[in-house]
Structure 1
């Protein structure tokens, strides 16, 4: 069974990975707007993902 500390660590790791991917995609759009014609129009997918901590389980 996964302990509470492990669950918190995994959740934080997932949040970091999501934030890194979002930042990388944003950098790509800024560097090459021709490849991403919708870069000037932010969508819901462009916003940073925040995961609520609802406690264990």
Structure 2
């Protein structure tokens, strides 16, 4: 059987890991728009519309 102290230690370790993962995801999410803007050439995100002028 797991002692009370060991259960507390495991719980704290799990909470620390969860906090680290959440912080990493928050950093990644925060940096994504800046990274996307830096790698996308100007005007590349504009939508292009093509009209159909009929046959020929």
| TM-score, normalised with respect to structure 1 | 0.56
Q: Which runs of 5+ in 2 are unaligned?
A: 37-56
Q: Which runs of 5+ in 1 are unaligned?
A: 35-57
Looking at secondary structure, tell me which structure has more helix per residue: 2
The higher radius of gyration belongs to 2
Question: Any runs of at least 4 consecutive aligned residues in structure 1 with deviations exceeding 6 A, and if so which?
Answer: none
Q: Distance in 2 between matches of 1:11 and 1:19?
A: 12
**CA RMSD, aligned part only?**
0.9
Instruction: Provide the aligned length of Structure 1 versus Structure 2.
Output: 34
| TM-score, normalised with respect to structure 2 | 0.57
